[in-house]
């Protein structure tokens, strides 16, 4: 059964356009509340839900609408204010609540927003629960009688609780003293959290991207815009820089020379370190976008590797199927299931720093055995459904020609974005010039077809 509203990362869109309107979000809260209230996990007691949000100005409006819908359905609501997505997952589990809700559009611009849910165990809602919520949305919204409405309560210590949790994922007998770090919070949900985690572990921290105004989230800062981080690392003569995205579940890092390290490279450091410690539980899950060099490096290390569809939801599903603990995407989503129930940029950074500190290595030294294949990604904005372009004969032809040109020494991947109206064109191979030429040729054809 296909979803009508839920995508790979909840319900997302442009604020003011359906479904990201106060009316729909209130109805969504009500529908979710009704489904959760009859869940076996409620155990006859009033169900309770945690709401967190990032720093977008629209978060105030959507938080109020969501709160009203949940309370109308008879659920109690705990308001955590601006906190990262993984903090909502952690607090939902720690407080033994039925669900957690995040109001965020992650790395998207501030004009977008979204709603995503976590179950009581701190993981994304199962498919059957999302489908039940969608089915409930077909029913008109009403309200419980006054004597069975929910209540709202603000959690004043949410930030402090999460900071302590993050620190607990770093070895108790190790510290970050002597390490100078630049931390970029993308003017997002970690603006008042990330720097404190690393500082309290002993690092000398310079913080950028920590002045949210409701409209500047991800704007020139964060994991999707690392230019300011690279500049700050060099200017402050720091050993390492790290950037998170707007909701704090994505990570990229920079070395002292300003060189970028993506999710594949950081995942490689963590996996190799765990294998050396004898703590590699099973294998590693990547995605269709994971660099071929990563796959080959896992083979050399004797670590099993599997690819999931793009999206941390699918990485998580495959990890659970295989009973593995480590997975991630080259975009910077990294999942360490022995540390957290979801991807967490701060926790991932601490796992990388653990490896570097223990081996007395720089990022460059830790990744010297991983020679990345040149990879070009071009996002083509489209109208309508991007998936339909994959069936176009001209697109199919240019795709097939590119694969023939690579002659088995590279990959071509065309895929619709799960969160934006984009068709992503990725080409990977040994020859950088050829990869660039092929990617641009495919993107040109896609653009031409998309504008007809």
16 closest CA partner among 137, 108, 112:
112
The stretches of 186-262 forming alpha helices (DSSP H) are 194-200, 227-235
The CATH number for 11-156, chosen from 3.40.50.920, 3.40.120.10, 1.10.287.70, 3.40.1010.20, is: 3.40.120.10
Start-end ranges of CATH 3.40.120.10 in the chain? 11-156, 166-259, 263-366
Q: Has residue 231 got a pLDDT over 60? A: yes
Domain 166-259: give its CATH code.
Answer: 3.40.120.10
Average pLDDT of span 330-334: 96
The pLDDT tens digits for 274-285 are 999 999 999 999
pLDDT score at 387: 84
The CATH label, of 3.40.120.10, 3.40.640.10, 3.40.718.10, 3.30.1330.60, for the domain at 263-366 is 3.40.120.10
- At 122, the pLDDT band (50, 70, 90 cuts) reads very high
**Residue 350 pLDDT greater than 60, yes or no:** yes
CA angle 111-112-117, nearest 5°?
A: 150
Give pLDDT, residue 98. Answer: 95
Mean model confidence pLDDT for the chain: 95
106 included as an active-site residue: yes
What is the rounded average pLDDT of the residues 294-320?
95
> One of 58, 104, 106, 185 is an active-site residue; which one?
106
pLDDT at 304 over 70: yes
How far is it, in rounded angstroms, from Cα 275 to Cα 190? 30
Residue 450 has pLDDT above 70, yes or no: yes
pLDDT score for 417: 82
Confidence of residue 374 (pLDDT cuts 50, 70, 90): very high
pLDDT in tens, 189-219: 999 999 999 999 999 999 999 999 999 999 9
Cα–Cα separations (whole angstroms), residue 151 to 46, 73, 75, 189, 446:
10, 11, 7, 25, 51
Which pair of tokens denotes residue 309? 């569809």
State the pLDDT at residue 42. 53
Could you tell me the pTM of the whole model?
0.92
Give CA–CA dist 198/282, Å, rounded: 30
Residue 397, pLDDT above cutoff 70 = yes
CB 151 within 8 A of CB 77: yes
- Helical spans, DSSP H, in 18-110: 22-37, 58-72, 85-94
Distance separating alpha carbons of residues 287 and 272, to the nearest angstrom: 18
Of 3.40.50.300, 3.30.310.50, 3.90.470.10, 3.20.20.370, which CATH number belongs to 375-450? Answer: 3.30.310.50
How far is the C-alpha of 183 from the C-alpha of 240, rounded, in Å? 9
Banded model confidence at residue 384, pLDDT cuts 50, 70, 90 = confident
Per-residue pLDDT tens over the stretch 243-275 = 999 999 999 999 999 999 999 999 999 999 999
Helix, strand, or coil here: 328?
Answer: strand
pLDDT at 290: 95
Q: At residue 102, does pLDDT exceed 60?
A: yes
- State the pLDDT at residue 382: 87
Looking at residue 213, what is its pLDDT? Answer: 98
Query: Does 452 have pLDDT greater than 90?
Result: no
Q: What is the location of CATH 3.30.310.50 in the chain?
A: 375-450
Structure confidence at residue 38 (pLDDT): 87
pLDDT at residue 388 is higher than 90: no
pLDDT digits (tens, 9 = 90+) for 426-436: 999 999 999 99
* Distance from C-alpha of 62 to C-alpha of 249, rounded to nearest angstrom: 21
The Cα 223–Cα 248 span in angstroms is 9
The pLDDT-based confidence of 1 (bands split at 50, 70, 90) is low
| Lowest mean pLDDT across 136-140, 292-296, 408-412 | 408-412
Residues contacting residue 132 through CB under 8 Å, at least 6 positions apart: 35
Q: What pLDDT shows up at residue 405? A: 95
Per-residue pLDDT at 40 exceeds 60: no
Q: Of 315, 310, 321, 306, nearest to 336 (Cα)?
A: 315
Q: 49, 98 in Cβ contact below 8 A? A: yes
In tens, the pLDDT along 163-173 reads 999 999 999 99
């Amino acid at each position: 059964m296909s979803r009508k509203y839920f995508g790979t990362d909840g319900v997302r869109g442009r604020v003011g356009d359906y479904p990201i309107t106060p009316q729909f979000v209130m109805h969504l809260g009500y529908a979710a509340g009704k489904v959760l209230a009859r869940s076996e996990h409620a155990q006859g007691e009033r169900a309770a839900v945690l709401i967190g949000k990032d720093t977008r100005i629209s978060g105030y409006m959507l938080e109020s609408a969501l709160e009203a819908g949940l309370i109308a359905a008879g659920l109690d609501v705990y308001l955590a204010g601006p906190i990262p997505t993984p903090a909502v997952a952690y607090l939902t589990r720690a407080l033994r609540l039925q669900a957690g809700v995040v109001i965020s559009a992650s790395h998207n611009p501030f004009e977008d927003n979204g709603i995503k849910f976590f179950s009581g165990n701190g993981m994304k809602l199962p498919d059957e629960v999302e489908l039940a919520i969608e089915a409930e949305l077909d029913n008109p919204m009403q309200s419980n009688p006054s004597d069975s409405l929910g209540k709202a309560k603000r959690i004043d210590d949410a930030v402090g609780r999460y900071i302590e949790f993050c620190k607990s994922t770093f070895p108790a007998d190790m510290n970050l003293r002597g390490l100078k770090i630049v931390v970029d919070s993308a003017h997002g949900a970690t603006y008042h959290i990330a720097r404190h985690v690393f500082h309290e572990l002993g690092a000398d921290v310079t913080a950028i991207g920590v002045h949210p105004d409701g409209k500047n989230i991800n704007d020139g800062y964060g994991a999707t815009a690392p230019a300011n981080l690279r500049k700050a690392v060099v200017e402050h003569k720091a050993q390492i820089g790290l950037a998170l995205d707007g909701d704090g579940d994505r990570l990229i890092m920079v070395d002292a020379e300003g060189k970028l390290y993506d999710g594949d490279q950081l995942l490689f450091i963590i996996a190799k370190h765990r294998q050396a410690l004898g703590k590699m539980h099973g294998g590693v899950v990547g995605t269709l976008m994971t660099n071929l060099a990563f796959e080959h490096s896992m083979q050399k290390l004797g670590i099993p590797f599997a690819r999931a569809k793009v999206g941390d939801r699918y990485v998580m599903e495959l990890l659970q199927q295989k009973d593995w603990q480590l997975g991630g995407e080259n975009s910077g989503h990294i999942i360490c299931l022995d540390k957290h129930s979801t991807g967490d940029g701060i926790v991932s950074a601490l796992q990388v720093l653990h490896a570097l500190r223990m081996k007395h290595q720089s990022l460059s030294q830790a990744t010297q055995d991983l020679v990345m294949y040149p990879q070009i990604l071009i996002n083509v904005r489209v109208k309508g459904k991007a998936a339909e372009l994959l069936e176009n004969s001209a697109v199919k032809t240019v795709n097939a020609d590119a694969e023939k040109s690579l002659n088995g020494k590279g990959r071509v991947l065309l895929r619709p974005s799960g969160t934006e109206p984009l068709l992503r064109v990725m080409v990977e191979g040994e020859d950088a010039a050829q990869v660039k030429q092929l990617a641009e040729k495919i993107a040109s054809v896609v653009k031409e077809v998309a504008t007809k």
